[in-house]
Protein backbone atom coordinates (compact mmCIF):
# COMPACT_ATOMS: atom_id res chain seq x y z
CA UNK A 1 0.00 0.00 0.00
CA UNK A 2 2.90 2.26 0.77
CA UNK A 3 4.32 1.54 -2.71
CA UNK A 4 0.97 2.37 -4.42
CA UNK A 5 0.75 5.70 -2.59
CA UNK A 6 4.34 6.54 -3.53
CA UNK A 7 3.61 5.84 -7.22
CA UNK A 8 0.48 7.99 -7.15
CA UNK A 9 2.45 10.92 -5.73
CA UNK A 10 5.18 10.53 -8.37
CA UNK A 11 2.60 10.42 -11.21
CA UNK A 12 0.90 13.51 -9.84
CA UNK A 13 4.18 15.43 -9.74
CA UNK A 14 4.83 14.49 -13.33
CA UNK A 15 1.51 16.08 -14.43
CA UNK A 16 1.99 19.47 -12.67
CA UNK A 17 1.18 22.48 -14.90
CA UNK A 18 3.52 25.46 -14.80
CA UNK A 19 2.24 29.04 -14.10
CA UNK A 20 3.17 30.10 -17.63
CA UNK A 21 0.88 27.43 -19.13
CA UNK A 22 -2.17 28.59 -17.17
CA UNK A 23 -4.95 30.57 -18.92
CA UNK A 24 -5.25 33.87 -17.00
CA UNK A 25 -7.12 35.82 -19.67
CA UNK A 26 -10.14 36.12 -17.40
CA UNK A 27 -8.17 38.63 -15.30
CA UNK A 28 -8.23 41.13 -18.18
CA UNK A 29 -12.02 41.40 -18.23
CA UNK A 30 -12.90 44.95 -16.85
CA UNK A 31 -15.12 45.07 -13.80
CA UNK A 32 -18.34 47.09 -14.02
CA UNK A 33 -18.27 50.11 -11.70
CA UNK A 34 -21.15 50.77 -9.45
CA UNK A 35 -22.96 54.05 -10.30
CA UNK A 36 -21.93 57.03 -8.17
CA UNK A 37 -25.09 58.53 -6.80
CA UNK A 38 -23.40 61.39 -4.88
CA UNK A 39 -22.67 63.35 -8.09
CA UNK A 40 -26.33 63.27 -9.07
CA UNK A 41 -27.38 64.37 -5.59
CA UNK A 42 -25.07 67.40 -5.66
CA UNK A 43 -26.32 68.39 -9.12
CA UNK A 44 -29.91 68.19 -7.90
CA UNK A 45 -29.15 70.36 -4.84
CA UNK A 46 -27.39 72.98 -7.01
CA UNK A 47 -30.39 73.13 -9.34
CA UNK A 48 -32.78 73.66 -6.42
CA UNK A 49 -30.62 76.49 -5.02
CA UNK A 50 -30.61 78.24 -8.41
CA UNK A 51 -34.39 78.00 -8.64
CA UNK A 52 -34.83 79.49 -5.16
CA UNK A 53 -32.47 82.41 -5.92
CA UNK A 54 -34.18 83.19 -9.22
CA UNK A 55 -37.60 83.09 -7.58
CA UNK A 56 -36.45 85.38 -4.77
CA UNK A 57 -34.97 87.97 -7.13
CA UNK A 58 -38.09 87.87 -9.29
CA UNK A 59 -40.12 89.25 -6.40
CA UNK A 60 -38.06 92.43 -6.50
CA UNK A 61 -38.89 92.93 -10.17
CA UNK A 62 -42.60 92.24 -9.76
CA UNK A 63 -43.34 95.06 -7.31
CA UNK A 64 -43.58 98.74 -8.28
CA UNK A 65 -40.11 99.61 -7.02
CA UNK A 66 -38.24 96.81 -8.78
CA UNK A 67 -35.23 98.67 -10.16
CA UNK A 68 -34.42 100.49 -6.93
CA UNK A 69 -35.11 97.45 -4.78
CA UNK A 70 -32.80 95.26 -6.84
CA UNK A 71 -30.02 97.86 -6.75
CA UNK A 72 -30.50 98.21 -3.00
CA UNK A 73 -30.28 94.44 -2.56
CA UNK A 74 -26.98 94.30 -4.46
CA UNK A 75 -25.54 97.26 -2.52
CA UNK A 76 -26.52 95.71 0.80
CA UNK A 77 -24.99 92.36 -0.19
CA UNK A 78 -21.72 94.13 -1.09
CA UNK A 79 -21.68 96.17 2.10
CA UNK A 80 -22.58 93.23 4.34
CA UNK A 81 -19.80 91.20 2.73
CA UNK A 82 -17.38 93.92 3.82
CA UNK A 83 -18.77 93.88 7.35
CA UNK A 84 -20.65 97.17 7.01
CA UNK A 85 -24.20 97.96 8.07
CA UNK A 86 -26.33 99.91 5.59
CA UNK A 87 -30.10 100.38 5.83
CA UNK A 88 -32.15 101.87 3.01
CA UNK A 89 -35.79 102.76 2.46
CA UNK A 90 -36.89 103.45 -1.16
CA UNK A 91 -39.66 105.81 -0.06
CA UNK A 92 -42.81 106.50 -2.05
CA UNK A 93 -43.10 109.42 -4.49
CA UNK A 94 -46.92 109.29 -4.56
CA UNK A 95 -47.31 109.68 -0.81
CA UNK A 96 -44.36 112.07 -0.53
CA UNK A 97 -42.36 109.71 1.70
CA UNK A 98 -38.66 110.38 1.19
CA UNK A 99 -35.91 107.90 0.45
CA UNK A 100 -33.61 107.34 3.41
CA UNK A 101 -30.22 105.78 4.02
CA UNK A 102 -28.45 105.03 7.31
CA UNK A 103 -24.79 104.03 7.60
CA UNK A 104 -23.42 102.81 10.93
CA UNK A 105 -19.84 102.04 9.89
CA UNK A 106 -17.40 104.43 8.29
CA UNK A 107 -16.62 102.07 5.41
CA UNK A 108 -20.27 102.19 4.36
CA UNK A 109 -19.97 105.85 3.31
CA UNK A 110 -19.15 104.50 -0.16
CA UNK A 111 -22.77 103.43 -0.39
CA UNK A 112 -23.87 106.94 0.64
CA UNK A 113 -22.04 108.39 -2.36
CA UNK A 114 -24.06 106.11 -4.64
CA UNK A 115 -27.31 106.99 -2.88
CA UNK A 116 -26.78 110.78 -3.02
CA UNK A 117 -24.28 111.76 -5.70
CA UNK A 118 -22.00 114.59 -4.69
CA UNK A 119 -22.50 114.15 -0.95
CA UNK A 120 -19.65 115.75 0.98
CA UNK A 121 -17.48 113.67 3.29
CA UNK A 122 -15.35 114.93 6.23
CA UNK A 123 -11.66 114.17 5.70
CA UNK A 124 -10.54 115.39 9.12
CA UNK A 125 -11.99 114.56 12.53
CA UNK A 126 -9.87 115.24 15.65
CA UNK A 127 -8.37 112.39 17.66
CA UNK A 128 -10.62 110.91 20.31
CA UNK A 129 -13.76 110.94 18.15
CA UNK A 130 -15.09 108.03 16.14
CA UNK A 131 -17.74 107.70 13.46
CA UNK A 132 -21.11 106.62 14.84
CA UNK A 133 -23.73 107.14 12.14
CA UNK A 134 -24.70 108.92 8.92
CA UNK A 135 -28.33 109.60 8.06
CA UNK A 136 -29.41 110.90 4.64
CA UNK A 137 -32.88 111.79 3.37
CA UNK A 138 -33.58 112.38 -0.33
CA UNK A 139 -36.69 114.14 -1.61
CA UNK A 140 -38.44 113.25 -4.84
CA UNK A 141 -37.04 116.41 -6.50
CA UNK A 142 -33.46 115.46 -5.59
CA UNK A 143 -33.08 117.68 -2.54
CA UNK A 144 -31.08 116.03 0.22
CA UNK A 145 -30.29 116.60 3.87
CA UNK A 146 -28.30 114.54 6.29
CA UNK A 147 -26.22 114.40 9.44
CA UNK A 148 -22.87 112.89 10.39
CA UNK A 149 -22.54 111.85 14.04
CA UNK A 150 -19.21 111.37 15.83
CA UNK A 151 -18.82 110.49 19.50
CA UNK A 152 -15.98 110.99 21.98
CA UNK A 153 -15.35 110.20 25.63
CA UNK A 154 -18.33 110.52 27.92
CA UNK A 155 -21.07 112.48 26.16
CA UNK A 156 -18.79 114.50 23.87
CA UNK A 157 -19.84 114.67 20.24
CA UNK A 158 -19.34 116.30 16.84
CA UNK A 159 -22.29 116.76 14.51
CA UNK A 160 -22.11 117.82 10.85
CA UNK A 161 -25.45 118.69 9.30
CA UNK A 162 -25.85 119.38 5.58
CA UNK A 163 -28.66 120.33 3.18
CA UNK A 164 -28.89 120.65 -0.60
CA UNK A 165 -32.10 122.29 -1.80
CA UNK A 166 -32.63 122.31 -5.56
CA UNK A 167 -35.49 124.81 -5.20
CA UNK A 168 -33.31 127.55 -3.69
CA UNK A 169 -29.76 127.88 -4.95
CA UNK A 170 -29.07 130.99 -2.85
CA UNK A 171 -28.23 130.05 0.72
CA UNK A 172 -27.86 132.97 3.12
CA UNK A 173 -26.52 132.93 6.66
CA UNK A 174 -27.40 135.71 9.11
CA UNK A 175 -24.16 136.41 10.89
CA UNK A 176 -22.03 139.39 11.78
CA UNK A 177 -18.85 137.32 11.81
CA UNK A 178 -16.19 137.89 9.17
CA UNK A 179 -16.40 135.18 6.49
CA UNK A 180 -13.42 133.00 5.67
CA UNK A 181 -13.39 132.90 1.88
CA UNK A 182 -11.61 130.02 0.24
CA UNK A 183 -11.43 129.01 -3.42
CA UNK A 184 -14.54 126.82 -3.41
CA UNK A 185 -16.30 127.70 -0.13
CA UNK A 186 -17.16 130.36 2.40
CA UNK A 187 -16.95 129.59 6.14
CA UNK A 188 -18.66 131.45 8.99
CA UNK A 189 -18.10 131.05 12.72
CA UNK A 190 -21.45 131.76 14.40
CA UNK A 191 -21.73 132.49 18.11
CA UNK A 192 -24.84 131.26 19.94
CA UNK A 193 -25.77 133.64 22.78
CA UNK A 194 -28.12 131.06 24.32
CA UNK A 195 -25.70 128.13 24.38
CA UNK A 196 -22.66 130.38 24.80
CA UNK A 197 -20.63 128.52 22.22
CA UNK A 198 -19.74 128.54 18.53
CA UNK A 199 -20.89 126.60 15.55
CA UNK A 200 -19.43 126.81 12.07
CA UNK A 201 -21.46 127.17 8.89
CA UNK A 202 -20.15 126.70 5.38
CA UNK A 203 -21.55 127.27 1.89
CA UNK A 204 -20.03 125.18 -0.90
CA UNK A 205 -21.55 124.80 -4.37
CA UNK A 206 -24.97 125.98 -3.14
CA UNK A 207 -24.92 123.45 -0.31
CA UNK A 208 -25.08 124.46 3.33
CA UNK A 209 -23.19 122.60 6.05
CA UNK A 210 -23.18 123.27 9.77
CA UNK A 211 -20.71 121.89 12.32
CA UNK A 212 -21.17 121.93 16.07
CA UNK A 213 -20.10 119.89 19.09
CA UNK A 214 -17.70 119.71 21.99
CA UNK A 215 -14.67 121.08 20.13
CA UNK A 216 -13.15 124.53 19.73
CA UNK A 217 -14.06 127.04 17.02
CA UNK A 218 -10.65 126.54 15.43
CA UNK A 219 -11.17 122.77 15.25
CA UNK A 220 -14.58 123.19 13.62
CA UNK A 221 -13.09 125.57 11.05
CA UNK A 222 -10.39 122.99 10.26
CA UNK A 223 -13.08 120.34 9.81
CA UNK A 224 -14.95 122.65 7.41
CA UNK A 225 -11.80 123.36 5.40
CA UNK A 226 -11.16 119.65 4.84
CA UNK A 227 -14.64 118.49 3.84
CA UNK A 228 -14.60 117.25 0.24
- Per-residue pLDDT reduced to its tens digit, 118-174: 899 999 999 999 999 999 998 877 789 999 999 999 999 999 999 987 555 445 566
Query: Per this entry, what is the length of the chain?
Result: 228
Rounded Cα distance, 50 and 52, in Å: 5
Of all residues in the chain, the percent with pLDDT exceeding 90 is 36
pLDDT attached to residue 4: 57
DSSP states of 67-114 as a string?
HHHHHHHHHHHHHHHTT--EEEE--BTTTTBPEEEEE-SGGGHHHHHH
- 157 DSSP assignment: E
CA–CA separation, 54 vs 52, rounded Å? Answer: 6
What is the per-residue pLDDT across 194-224, written as a single tens digit (0 to 9) for each?
Answer: 888 999 999 998 789 999 999 999 999 999 9
Determine the pLDDT at residue 39.
54
Rounded to the nearest 10 degrees, what angle do helices 66-81 and 37-62 cross at?
A: 130
Amino acid sequence: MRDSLKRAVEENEGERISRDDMDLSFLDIPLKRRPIYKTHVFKAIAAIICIVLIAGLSNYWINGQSAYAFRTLVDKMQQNAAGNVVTTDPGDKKSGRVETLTVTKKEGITCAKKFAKGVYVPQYIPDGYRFKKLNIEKEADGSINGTYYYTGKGEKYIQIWFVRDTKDATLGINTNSKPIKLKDRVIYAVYDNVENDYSVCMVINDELLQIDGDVSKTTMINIAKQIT
